[in-house]
């Protein structure tokens, strides 16, 4: 019998192209789950659908466009991480706990800072 050493995950055995394909499938599943279960993510995707094309049409340098688009994509990334933290906390227990609240509040603060970053980056790039 092939026992998995205690310091190794049984889910980490794939390598090469198979690992890349699996990662893509899992990533798409994660995006679908976020769209289905997370209202904040859906709102931020709508914001991205509006702001990314606007950024690409702005009369700014390529670096400016990259900053504008990157700041918007950062919000989506941080929201995905926040949603993952919330899901794990809720999986562990739905009862009120100081550490669970702290984890959720810190994740929320990260999203707020990412949104503030959008405002600052866009203002700096567009107002020069």
What is the domain partition of the chain in residue ranges? Answer: 39-127
Instruction: Give residue-wise pLDDT tens across range 65-98.
Output: 999 999 999 999 999 999 999 999 999 998 999 9
> CB-side exposure of 123: number of CA atoms within 13 Å?
6
State the catalytic residue, choosing from 79, 86, 95, 98.
79
Which ranges of the chain would DSSP assign to H, the alpha helix?
A: 16-37, 39-57, 62-92, 98-127
Instruction: Give residue-wise pLDDT tens across range 22-68.
Output: 999 999 999 999 999 999 999 999 999 999 999 999 999 999 999 99
6-22 residues labelled b (16+ CB within 10 A) or e (exposed): eeeeeeeeeeeeeeeee
Q: Alpha-carbon distance 118 to 126, whole Å?
A: 12
- CATH class for the region spanning 39-127: mainly alpha
Does residue 95 carry a catalytic annotation?
no
């Amino acid at each position: 019998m092939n026992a998995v050493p205690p310091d190794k995950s049984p889910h980490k055995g794939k390598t090469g192209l198979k690992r890349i394909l699996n990662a893509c499938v899992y990533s798409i599943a994660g995006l679908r789950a976020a769209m289905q279960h997370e209202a904040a993510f859906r709102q931020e995707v709508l914001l991205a659908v509006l702001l990314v094309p606007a950024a690409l049409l702005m009369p700014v340098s390529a670096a400016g466009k990259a900053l504008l688009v990157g700041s918007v994509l950062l919000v989506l990334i941080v929201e995905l991480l926040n949603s993952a933290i919330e899901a794990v906390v809720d999986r562990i227990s739905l009862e009120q706990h100081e550490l669970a609240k702290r984890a959720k509040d810190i994740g929320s603060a990260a999203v707020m800072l990412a949104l503030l970053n959008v405002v600052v980056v866009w203002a700096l790039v567009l107002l020069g």
